[in-house]
Every structure is written in structure tokens, then in C-alpha cells.
Structure 1
Amino acid sequence: MGFSTEFNSVCKFKTDQELYELLEYGRGKMKKTGLRIFPTGQKVIAYSSANVAVAIVKIVASIAEINFQGEEVTEVEMELIRKLTPEESHVQTALAYEMFFGEPNRK
């Protein structure tokens, strides 16, 4: 059994609700499947479920465990540093597609 490591500058939300809570309340968490290691204390770029760069967040906790159903899960808690401007979002999103997400059928 091994651990997957998240790339240090990417924090992608799978659900819009998790992202909404972070942006609305300044703190939030997300749940990932599998045992993963997130860089606690590091600032990262948060992406929406549609792969759009949204904000800079700080990872404050990362808890990897096997739950009572036998599933490997990782819960990541974070705090909002700031939302990205539209220009910053555009540049970060374009870079992320080139480096991580792959080139979509985009204009």
C-alpha cells in the first residue's frame, strides 16, 4: 500500500459545495479518495471542479485514514488567503491545463 502525493501547487475541488463553503466562510475542507499527502502549511492554488483557478489557499491540516467502511480517504482542511483576480485566474488556469490537466478542446 502506498500514498499518492498531490502536486504542491494544485488543490482541485471535486464538488462546487466544498469550494463555495471555502469562499463564503474563509475556511473549508475537502474529501479525497485514497491516501494522499498534502503539504500542510503551504499555500496552493485552488481549482474548481471545472478546472478553473479560483483562489490561493493555505493547507492547515491533512488527515489520511481508512474509515469504518474500509475506504481509504484523505480529508484536507484549508483557509482562504484570497480570491484570484480574473486576469490571475485566466493565467493560472491556462498554465494548469498545459502542465497538469491536459489540453482540452478550448478556444
Structure 2
Amino acid sequence: MGFSTEFNSICKFKSARELEDLFEYGKTKMRKSGFRIYPTGMKVIAFDPENRAVAIVQIKASIAEIDFQDREITLVEMDLVRPLTPEESAVETALAYEMFFRDHESN
């Protein structure tokens, strides 16, 4: 058992449904495997399941727990600050790919 810290200023969605909730309701709860620490109160860039930058979100809560199947999970609650423009998305996506995704394709 241990915690991994998300040092990057990104929040990557693996579930399209969680991302749809973000845009529809202005907030969502993202489920991540393992115990992680997200920067509560910070604004970060949200990425869709295809690694495209889509929005700026503010992390409201990061809750690590063990679920009913005895798995370590982290629930990350966030609010939508605003969607990114196509130009912002292209720049942020290119930078994140160079700095993070290229070396961490399995995450």
C-alpha cells in the first residue's frame, strides 16, 4: 500500500462518461486505481481518453479509499473552470505529449 503523487498539472480521464458529466453538469467525480494524491484547490488541464487537452478544471477533493472489492482507489472531485479553445487544446496536447504521454503510454 502506498500513495503516488500526481506532480503534473494534468488530469487524464479514462472514462468518456466522467468527461461527459464534466461538460454537462460543470462537475464530475473521476475514479482512479490505486492511492493517489491530487492537488486539491489547484487548477489543472483535463485530458480526454485520447490524450487531447479539453478543459481547465479545479480539483475540489481527492479521496483515497478501499472499495468493496478490496481495491485501492482514489476518487477525484472537480469543477469545470472552462473548456479550452481549439488553439489552446492543440498547444497543450502537443506539450503534454512531449513532456508526459510519450514516456507513459501505459498509464
TM-score, normalising length from structure 1?
A: 0.93
CA distance in 1 between partners of 2:79 and 2:98 (Å): 27
What is the Cα deviation at residue 2 of structure 1? Answer: 1.6
Identity %, equivalent residues = 68
Aligned residues: 103
Confirm or deny: 8 A CA contact 1:8 1:38 kept in the other structure: no
Alignment of 1:63 onto 2:94: no
CA distance in 1 between partners of 2:96 and 2:43 (Å): 16
What is the Cα deviation at residue 68 of structure 1? Answer: 2.2
The gaps in structure 1 that reach 5 residues or longer are none
TM-score, normalising length from structure 2?
A: 0.93
What amino acid does structure 1 have at the position aligned with 2:87? Answer: E
What is the RMSD computed on CA atoms of the aligned residues? 1.0
Q: How do residues 1-107 of structure 1 correspond to structure 2 at under 5 angstroms?
A: 1-102=1-102
The gaps in structure 2 that reach 5 residues or longer are none
